[in-house]
Every structure is written in structure tokens, then in C-alpha cells.
Amino acid sequence: MRSSARPFAALLAALTLTAGLFATGAPASARANDVAPAAEASDVSLAADTYDWKNVRIDGGGFVPGIVFNRSEKNLAYARTDIGGAYRWDQAGKQWTPLLDWVDWDHWGWTGVVSLASDSADPDNVYAAVGTYTNSWDPNNGAVLRSSDRGASWKATELPFKIGGNMPGRGMGERLAVDPNKNSVLYLGAPSGNGLWRSTDSGATWSEVTAFPNPGNYAQDPADTSGYGNDNQGIVWVTFDERTGSAGSATQDIYVGVADKDNTVYRSTDGGATWSRIAGQPTGYLSHKGVLDSDNGYLYLTLSDTGGPYDGGKGRIWRYATATGAWTDVSPVAEADTYYGFSGLSVDRQHPGTLMATAYSSWWPDTQIFRSTDSGATWTQAWDYSSYPNRTNRFTQDVSSVPWLTWGANPAPPETTPKLGWMTEALEIDPFDSNRMMYGTGATIYGTENLTNWDSGSQFKITPMVKGLEETAVNDLASPPSGAPLLSALGDIGGFRHTDLDAVPGMMFTSPNLTSTTSLDFAEASPNTVVRVGSADAAPHIGFSTDNGSNWFQGSEPAGVTGGGTVAAAADGSGFVWSPEGAGVHRTTGFGSSWSASTGIPAGATVESDRKNPRKFYGYKAGTFYVSTDGGATFTAKAAAGLPVEGNVRFKAVPGIEGDVWLAGGSATGAYGLWHSTDSGATFTKLSGIGQADSVGFGKAAAGASYQTLFVTAKIDGVRGVFRSTDAGSTWTRINDDAHQWGWIGASITGDPRVYGRVYVSTNGRGIMYGDSSDGDGGGTDPGTDPGTDPGNPPGDGACSVTYKVTNQWSGGFQADVTLTNTGTEALDGWQLGWTFADGQKVTQMWNATPTQDGAKVKAASISWNGKVAPGASVGFGFTGTLAGGNAAPAAFALGDEACATG
């Protein structure tokens, strides 16, 4: 796996998105409450339901280019990903907590994190520079996010330029840095020739450091005209020498790395007023990292002849003596013996003079990690050749917690499985614990807690330290009526058969191994029959399973296939229709031993199957719907008017009903919405009130309902979100909230045919999210259950119950979720929930409700889209607050003037 998402995936996303930015400095924890959504005429009735959201566990799956430890507080660490957001380390659970799930559809690029900075003067402060692409693929400018509660809530400042978390060179850094002596001062290195920027008000406003002389000049591929490979990688890291300042006074000596092979390091000795190129520095390389050992007065550089993270053929490590100006090449191997660049770099703060570095671009036979205990004078390495091709390792490696990291491989020496990694641009030694080290790879975070065994001659143990960090880009999802509850099609690691949503699967799909699976399907009436297609370095691009995805065998393919495209299985598993890249639409009977070209349908059409009639298949391209009634041999175009001609379009047929098709998609410049056909696409009806829709799926029907539950990612009544309908689209319930948005989620959605309300949502970098409803079976309160008479709760006199839960707490602050349930027989139409804090807590920010507070008394009022709550339904909201001492839960809640039961 070479990256966590191909740039093309983001380009597809960009085609369907419209720009819209938070106001500068506006609270960004969940679409700021003072920014009202645009009104949009609609006859769609919106209700609200409370969902519990989790990741389907995979653990990792993408590139982790940055790990940051706070230098003043033990166990406070952060990780950044190129498309999957930022995370904070939870020491108690030894797992990662996601921090950017609030990023919304319009700002999907903010899930790409270019850099992170943790404030050593005030550990509650953390900053993130966000944006995914510097070219037209991302419609928005970048931003600097700032948090004073360790990422529980954020404020955003839009930048006047783009920055690229998924651009070439993203493993260099950190480009964002906080002055350790005067923490109101921050610096940010910008790409694309935009230079060096500075904030003097803790990240609220930014201005260019016009005195900085060099905005960089290196591009990965100057001949590329897309704006991707030919982008100037710019200013790539900032490092302070904390000895040259004092508390409250700005640090005077600042070092900056530049993507310029002849001028890669600059220094200021007057707090950033003036800058100069450091004389005598190495040339011909880019400095990926610049780390200062202030105890010994050394600045170390890891260098590569390219910007990475994939490429790099030569590299060096140099040391600069800050007192004398002397440069020394301290590389662990001769330049002639390198076939890789150096990047990951860390100094042991407990034992100055001990440092480590990585050979990030050593793809074969493995990455290499180097360690020195004498300031780079001598080095040892993680593995050596004993007698080629055999290796001697200084480490043991246990991936039993994430077993798919072996890739199911059985390589010949000197390769091993699992590998130490690749794209190892982030490596950090815990500043408080010399035994703990973490490093990022293209697929995971590895770490050890007995690192100093390296120096004593015994082996240290490497294990995945990635739990909670989910970073896959999801292309397709399927939930069969029997067998595994979920099958996934993923970028870069292929996909999985998920038999337990809360456990890491044992192995990705193999035989064939597809680098990225683009589409999969199962036979509705024979769910053990499964097909998947995707990209691969060579044929085959298709695999079949007859045991629900447990085991696979390779299929043949038509001539000219270059990529996966889309694939559909007949309802009874008797045949398949495939629309691959590089070739036209084809059909096969059996399991792909031979293929014949379909007629009447254009190349590149999206294909699906009818879920009732095994002879019926559907196709779609550029506004025209196609139908086959002979197993995909011939297709007929249907003249349905008004369908989207441009943009991404996804459609699905309803299980068990022949000819029942739902179609979602379009673009902001043309037709865009949700359409329904009950006659196999001969006619389509557009649903009113749905301004935009991007994916549609089906799940188990609600109690008493005759039609399957619908799920869509859509914009309804001006609100973007994940929606559910139990009455064939007449009314809709938003089931996510502003704290759970996950950026771009348009690729795939499906309900679970066995569990009412359960939905699986694709993301472009945050893995697979699944949600379960608190609404039970959708039929209201369970007969015989009176929520107000639980012996453990004081009875309320109102038709309501409230659950209050503190979900996170830190020094001086906390986060809580509140669920209000309508236990009466009439719908609520607008609500206001009140309570009193006992310990002086103050609400600082609230999402999905509007807060007012008078002393200890708090009121939370409904907002435009969640004021209507049906009998038996629930609505949820959350908030962050400050603490003055204790944090006791409120003893009572009132809906207007009526007391609610608590539980």
C-alpha cells in the first residue's frame, strides 16, 4: 500500500462539492450554532433521532505522516493523517481519540492534516493546519484550527491560500510550530510559493513573514500540469531553540526548513525579524526534518533527494553545532550505499545524544531504522544481514492485534512479513519515557515500550499502537441478508469480510490481492456468491467467492481491462455484469471463465443488478438509464427525463421488489437530488425537498412498515447529513449530528437487513462508520415499559426522559452528551430542556441545540431541523464546558415546566 487515498478519489469528491467556509474564528466543533443553515423550500418533514456511532474496526489502513508528543506533559500525544483527520492519544485505553469528526461536507478538505503543534507552555492548547489539496481538487482554502481543550472543540481561521495534507512532501515537517517561550506566537510554513507565516495571537490571525527570503522551489514533477506533482512544496518545518528565550519572551533563534536543494535551512537570531541561509549547509538534498538537541547544542537534519513520501533514492543525515557553526555529516552509511532518503528523526529528551532516524523510502526488502547514542558519531540499525539473504533483527514484531498487517504474504528472504513498514516519515521517542517510541507507516502506527533493549543487545518488541485510528478510504459497502453483516471495498488495502464489527478482521481479501477494491456485490437470493473488482499491478482485476467472502478465487477478464470499475451479481448468482476501466461493459455466466461484450450500453457506465429478477441488470451514464432483461447481453436505453447528466451518480435496486430503483447524485451546476422508479427505470420521480443526495441504501423495515428503511447521504431542508426514512421517502430523520459528519461521505451507504436502524456509512479517510438507533424498532416505547417508573430513577411528571453522559474530561474542562426522549403520545414541536449545575460548570460551546446560561441554570433549545420529536423518538445534543472543581451530573431536568425522568 502506497497511500491512504489516490488523488483521483478526491477529484471525484470535488466534482460534487460546493464551497462554503466557516467565518474566520468561528467555533468549529460542529457547525457553529450562530451560523444558521440556509433555508430551502421543502414539503419534507424532518424529525430527529439519536444514534450511537462507532467505527467498524480495521485499525489503521492509511499513511500516518506525523506524530507529536507534548514536551511538558507526560502521555499527551497526537497523530496526524493525510486524509483521515487528527487524533489524541488516550493513555488509559492505549488508543487514539478522533478529533475532527465534526468536519462537514462543504469543508471535506479539512480532514487532511498538514501539520500539528502541541503547546508545551499550556498543554491544553493544540493546533492543526488543515487542507487536502493545493490545486483545484479541493474547492476551499486551508485553515489553522485552534483548540484550548485538547481538541474537544475547535475554532478555525481560514488562510488566504490552500495547503495540502495529501500532497507530495506531506511527510516532511512539522510545518506548524508554537514558540515554547511565548506561546501566543506560532509559525506556519506554506506551500505553493506562499512563504512563511506567523501568528502573534495564538493562531487567531496570520500574516506573512515578508522578511523570509525563500518560499522554496522544489516540485516532485515540474512537467505535471494538474497542480499536483508540479506544486512547489514550500516551507517544510520550523524548529525553535528554546535556550534563546525565556518565559513570556519570544524565542530568538528559529530554524526553518525549505524545499530547495541548494538552500534548505535558514535561521533567525532575532525572533524572526531577519533571516539568513546558514553557511556551510549540505546541498543537493531536501531537509525532511530539523530536530534540535538543545542540551548538546546540535541541530540534526534528515535529508533526501526528493520530497517523498514514496520516492527517494539517496539520503544523508547532517549535524549542525549551533555554537560554532560547524557542519558534520553523521550519516549511518556511505552515500553510495543509500538507495533511500532519510526522514523520521527524534532525539531522546531523557538521554541527550541519543537519536533515531528512518530510511523512509526503503521499500525493498524493508524499511530501516537507525539509532545512535553518541550524537551521530556511530550508529546501529534495526536489522542487518547475517549472511545474505538472511537477516538478524534487533526486534521482535507481534501483529496479532492487527493480523492483516502480514498481507497474507509469504515472501522469500530478505523480505519478511510483517514488514517494519514503508513511508516511515514519522518517528518519535516519548520525551518522558526512553523506552517508548512510536513511528508511522503507510498502513499503521507501530511502537515499542522496551526500546532501550536495543542498547543492551537484547531484542525490543514492536506492536501496532493504532487502536482507534481508522484511516481507510471506502469505495463500496454491502450488507448481505445472511453471513457476515458487512463486506467492504477499500482503497489501498482491498477490503474485508467483517464478521464482528467491533473486532479487527483477520485478513483482507486475497486471491486475488487488489490494491484498491472499487466495487463489490453479492447475489441477493444466494448471499454466499460474492464478486469484487478493483485495481491491481497486473491481471486479474476480479475475484469471486462462493462462501460469503471467506475464500476467493481469481477470474479471467476481458482484453484491455486496466481498472476495476463497477460490477453486479445476478439475483440468483447465475451470472455477472462488469463495467471495468479500459474495456466496455461485459457479461459472464458462471464465474468469469469467459466474457462477452454487452451491447446497447456505453463503456464506463455504472452497473447494478435487479434484486429480484436474475435476468435483469441496470446501467447508468450521463443522464441515461439502461436496462437489460437477458442477463446483461443487451441493454436498452430508457428516456427518463431530468436525471443528472454530470457529477457522481449512484443507484441501487430494492431487495425483493422487481424494478424498484432509487438513484442519487448530480452536481451543483445541474440536476442534483434523489429519484425513484418503480418500473425498472422507464420513469423516475424526483423527491421534492431533497436539494442534494449522493448515495442511497436500504435496511430492515421498521416495525409495522411494509417497505424497507431508506438511508441517504443528502441535503434536506438545507441541512447536510445522514438521513433515514421508514415510509418510502415521505418523511426523513437526520440520524447523525454536527459532531459526527466525517467530511465527504458520498461514496456508499447501506442499511443492515437484519438489524433495524443500523446503517453503514463510507468515509474518505475515517474508515467505515456504523450507527445504531436509540429508537428501538421504530415503533415507539416498548409495551409494558414505563420510563418514568424505573425504581432506580425518581419519577418525572412530564412526558420525557433524559440521559446525561460525560464523554470526556480534562484539567479545567469536559464534554457531555444529552439525550432527550419523548415518552408521551404526542409529538414535540420545538423543545427547551433546562437543568442546574451543582459545581459551577459553564457551557462554552453547544451543538445541535442553542444554549443560554444564567449562573448555574442552563437551557438548551431546539434548532431548525430537530425541533420535531415523534412519540418514542429521541433527540441528542452535546456541549463542552469548563470546570471550577467537581463535575457532578445535574440532578434533574425539565422540559419547559415539566420534570423529566432521568436515566
pLDDT tens string 748-781: 999 999 999 999 999 999 999 999 998 766 543 2
Which of 21-25, 199-203, 824-828, 834-838 has the largest mean confidence?
199-203
Does an H or E element contain 553, and which? strand 553-554
Distance of CA 757 to the CA centre of its chain: 24
For residue 98, what are the β-bridge partners?
Answer: 87
| Beta strands at 759-762 and 437-440: parallel, antiparallel or unpaired | unpaired
- Cell numbers that stand for 176 in this block: 506548524
* Mean pLDDT value across residues 317-341: 98
How much is the pLDDT for 336? Answer: 97
pLDDT tens string 489-522: 999 999 999 999 999 999 999 999 999 999 999 9
pLDDT tens string 344-377: 999 999 999 999 999 999 999 999 999 999 999 9
Q: How far is the C-alpha of 775 from the C-alpha of 52, rounded, in Å?
A: 11
pLDDT tens string 83-96: 999 999 999 999 99
Mean pLDDT of the chain: 91
ω into 787 cis (within 30 of 0):
no
How much is the pLDDT for 35? Answer: 25
How much is the pLDDT for 47? Answer: 57
Closest CA to 899 of 780, 791, 794, 784: 794
Which of 43-57, 215-229, 808-822 has the largest mean confidence?
215-229
* Mean pLDDT value across residues 794-821: 80
* Mean pLDDT value across residues 847-865: 86
pLDDT tens string 742-756: 999 999 999 999 999
pLDDT tens string 400-413: 999 999 999 999 99
What does the angle CA 412 – CA 416 – CA 418 come to, to the nearest 5 degrees?
140
pLDDT tens string 285-313: 999 999 999 999 999 999 999 999 999 99
**For residues 884 and 752, which has the higher predicted lDDT (pLDDT)?**
752
Q: Give all strands (DSSP E) within 296-388, no chain letters.
A: 298-304, 315-321, 327-329, 342-347, 355-359, 368-372, 380-381, 383-387
What is the band of 639 on the pLDDT scale with cuts at 50, 70, 90?
A: confident
How much is the pLDDT for 807? Answer: 80
How much is the pLDDT for 46? Answer: 54
Q: Decide if pLDDT at 794 tops 70.
A: no
pLDDT tens string 733-742: 999 999 999 9
For residue 665, what are the β-bridge partners?
Answer: 649, 673
**Residues identified as active-site:** 82, 492
Q: Please provide the distance, in angstroms rounded to a whole number, between the alpha carbons at the two ends of the chain.
A: 47
What is the band of 879 on the pLDDT scale with cuts at 50, 70, 90?
A: confident
Q: Decide if pLDDT at 45 tops 60.
A: no
Lowest mean pLDDT among 423-437, 767-781, 878-892: 767-781
**Burial letters 530-567, b for 16+ CB under 10 A, else e:** bbbbbbbeeebbbbbbbebbeebebbebbeebeebbbb
How much is the pLDDT for 778? Answer: 55
pLDDT tens string 137-161: 999 999 999 999 999 999 999 999 9
How much is the pLDDT for 4? Answer: 39
pLDDT tens string 462-495: 999 999 999 999 999 999 999 999 999 999 999 9
The number of beta carbons lying within 10 Å of the beta carbon of residue 406 is 16
How much is the pLDDT for 179? Answer: 98
* Mean pLDDT value across residues 833-852: 88
Q: What is the pTM of this model?
A: 0.86
Q: Decide if pLDDT at 23 tops 60.
A: no
In degrees rounded to 5, what are phi and psi of residue 92?
-60, -40
Q: Decide if pLDDT at 705 tops 60.
A: yes
Lowest mean pLDDT among 69-78, 325-334, 583-592: 583-592
Write the single-letter amino acid at 839. Answer: D
